[in-house]
Structures are given as structure tokens and as C-alpha cells.
Amino acid sequence: MLTESRERENSDWDDVYNTEVENFETHGDEGEVCWDDVYNTEVENFETHGDEGEVWFGEETVDKMLEWALENCPADTKPYILDIGTGNGIMTVTLAENGYEPDRLVGLDYSEPSIKLARSVADGRGHPSIRYVVSDFINETAPEPVEGESGGKWDLLLDKGTYDAIALSGKSDDGKTIVSRYPPKVGEALKLGGLFLITSCNFTEEELKEAFGAPELGLTYHSRIQHPTFTFGGSSGSICASIAFKKN
């Protein structure tokens, strides 16, 4: 049964990433046009059928990230949390449904239709005070939690597939990969002692440690989430990797 579920999950995400590759090959660095199209369709589906849209990496991953957050950044500490690349906002809504204060949660996405969908989903779930912001995390300053509070920095940053999506982009005018700009932005947005939890299906734990563990970023390895493993060709691995870093 587990094998059957894993095969289905792999097939689903093959479809997602095949679409992403096709989008990038067609539009290059202007892939946001494609994501707007995707989320416009999901907004229409939500308005017509109440369909909340795709849950990136599945609900099990959302649950595991929630469990990690409850243990490492408990709701009773009233943390400010930023969900980077929020999509349909399910991660923020799930946090609100499990004790985190909605007005301390922010979902960020560069796709305006994504934010429209996230707001609709949050309103429909009874959490209209969750804040959603249209913003490009790579090229713009991250939004502040609440003016005058938390020093303008975040207690917890979450990423579920956004780093993967950005990695499909090419290089910028300076010859560097666009995704290489991402780790420094994480370091800038976190408060001292703050945490960053990332889930990736395209990068291994070691690759994530290398990308986010550079000394100049001020981030150190904190913990990991255990995901189901599989064996293929004599090698073992996980469908995805979830790893956390702490700002020092």
C-alpha cells in the first residue's frame, strides 16, 4: 500500500515538474506569466467548485512541517511566520488552525492570482486576518511582520517547493544563477535565533546544507524532518528533504 501511494505521489510530482520545465523552456525567466495562468485557473476552480487547489508536495508534508513548527517554534510563543511562495496559502491556514495567531502569519508570492486564491481560501476557512502579500522574495525586501514589532525580522521562515521552482530559472545579467540570490535573502529576513525550514524535492540534505550553511549567511544547521525512504538500484533515498537552519 505504501509503495502504491509513493508511486502515485511520484507520478503526480513528475507531472508538476514536467509542466515547470515546459514553462521555463517556453518563457525562460518570465515564468511568472505561466504561474499567473496556473493560479488564474485555480481561482476560477475555487470560485466555481470550491476547489482549494494543488497542495505542493502533498498534505503529509504540510502535516510534517506543522509538527516540526509546533515542536521548535511553538504557537504559545506567538511567533511571526513568513511562508515564502505561499501558493494557495494552505501552509498558513494550517498554522492558524493549529493555534498560531493569524495576524502574525504572512504568505508571500510573486503571483497576484496566487495571493487572490490564498486570501479566498483563508477567508473560506475562517481566517481573514492572515496577511497575504504580492512580492518577489528574490528582488524585493521581505515584508515586515508588523510595523514596530519584532525588529522587522521573522521568527520563522517556511519554504515548501519555492527554492525548487526558482532553481529552474537561468542566470541573471551578472552571470550568477538566480537561485543563488535566495539564501542571502533568508539570512537577511530572519531575526537572531530565528529558524528557516525548507522542504525540497530537487535537492538533497547535503546540497541544502551547502547552499544555506555558508558562514557569511549566519545560518547553521538546526534539525531535519524524517521522510519515508525508498530503495532503487541499491541506493536509498527520500522523495523529498526537509531541513532547518538557525540564524546566529
pLDDT at 36: 63
Residue 39 lies in domain: 2-247
**Is the confidence at residue 231, as pLDDT, over 70?**
no
* Contact yes or no for 32/210 (Cβ under 8 A): no
Domain CATH number, residue 23: 3.40.50.150
Q: How confident is the model at residue 11 (pLDDT cuts 50, 70, 90)?
A: very low
56 against 199, higher pLDDT: 199
For the question of whether the overall pTM of this predicted structure is more than 0.85, the answer is no
Q: pLDDT tens across 129-174, in order?
A: 999 999 999 999 999 997 666 678 999 999 999 999 899 887 666 7
233 against 208, higher pLDDT: 208
Number of domains in the chain: 1
DSSP code string of the chain = -HHHHHHHHHHHHHHHHHHHHHHHHHHGGGTHHHHHHHHHHHHHHHHHH------TTHHHHHHHHHHHHHHHS-GGG---EEEET-TTSHHHHHHHTTT--GGGEEEEES-HHHHHHHHHHHHHTT-TTSEEEE--TTTSPPPPSBTTBGGG-EEEEEEESHHHHHHTS-B-TTSSBGGGGHHHHHHHHEEEEEEEEEEESSS-HHHHHHHH--GGGTEEEEEEE---EEEETTEEEES-EEEEEEE-
pLDDT at 233: 63
Mean pLDDT across the chain, nearest whole number?
82
* Contact yes or no for 107/133 (Cβ under 8 A): yes
Strand partners, 225: 242
What percent of the chain clears pLDDT 70, i.e. is strictly above it? Answer: 70
Q: pLDDT tens across 86-111, in order?
A: 999 999 999 999 999 999 999 999 98
pLDDT at 7: 39
